[in-house]
Amino acid sequence: MARLDADPQLPDDLAGAIRRCFDALAMNERFRLLPALLLAERQVTPERRSGNDYIARLSVPDVLTLAEQMERRSSNRLLRENPEANLAVVAALFGPEDRVLLDASAHRSLKDACVLARVQVTTFPHNNVAAVERELRRAPAGQRTLIVVDGLYSMDGDLCPLPELVDLKRRYGAFLLVDEAHALGVIGPTGRGVHEHFGMAADAVDVWTGSLSKAVPSNGGFLAGRRDLILYLQHAAAPFWFSAALAPAAAGAALEALRVARREPERLVALRRNADALRTWLRARGYDTGNSESAIVPVLVGDDVAAWRLARRLFDEGVLVSAVVHPAVPQGAARLRLCATAAQSAADLDEALDAFDRAGRPAGLA
């Protein structure tokens, strides 16, 4: 969600609004990451730029130098996108004889990963721990089971019940994969993710996947887990082998973003202050924000057309917000998806909420 400063048809104003809308920790303001991006590009020697090695997978020394700076921080591997990471893990580790228990609200790429692996899939109701346990009890003897969830759900703004899921996977001998695409940088006291939020060790989860294009404003994805597991995936995961490396500029920008987040915790404080205010004020005005407890704040509408119309009315009032309809969400669960950021001012939020008052009344939503 962002306030358009002037005529919404002006490209410069629209571009600025989009930056405020999607840059969770406000790292793109004043080109904060640009020096690191340019430095990363300069580290690639001219002879490397001229050959095919420049775009090969992670074996080029110049690119690897940047990647290793990130990978040495934990046992992980970088890929070009978060969906590639999800495809890499499931297809490399599980197959037709195994089973996946998949949260109904899990990201589409996790569902695609199960199709690629040809694994048996059982979908359980969103965040329903009792349903997960029922399915684990029914598992045939000797069958491996992987529980697959998001850390932070991108359309609902709520968190997975990580402590309960870890308890279940330990008691029943299952495995657990958590996609942290939307949680990294914004969840937990220092933004380390859902495990930090719940005060748990990272190794309580078997495999983490995530994105470098959400709170970390670059591009790419990552896998994280035990060193032996990640070493195996490095050699067995097809999306890792048969894709290009991150561009040096992307790796450099991502690395600097992690440093900035660590040095400047006030960004996370501002993000949470804005998210809490937005959610509280919308609820006070009668809007249904579901179970959101993060910077992702849905406004539940129900009907697809009603969601589109409300988004258009808000745009006419100078507020940019996305309508999310089927198949991104179930039929009858259309919504507006608001994203609080550290860059939004009190004036931005006030004007947006006033626009909701004016736009929502004709639709009977306020």
Q: State the Cα–Cα distance between residues 192 and 361, nearest whole angstrom.
A: 40
SS3 sequence of 242-261? CCCCCCHHHHHHHHHHHHHH
**Helical segments of the chain, H only:** 11-22, 34-42, 46-49, 61-71, 82-93, 108-117, 129-138, 162-172, 194-197, 227-236, 238-241, 248-263, 266-284, 304-316, 346-360
Q: Which residues are catalytic?
A: 154, 182, 214
Q: Which H helix or E strand runs over 176?
A: strand 175-179
Whole-number Å distance between alpha carbons of 318 and 349? 12
The residues that bridge with 175 in the sheet, in sequence order, are 146
Q: What is the DSSP letter of 77?
A: E
DSSP 3-state of 43: coil
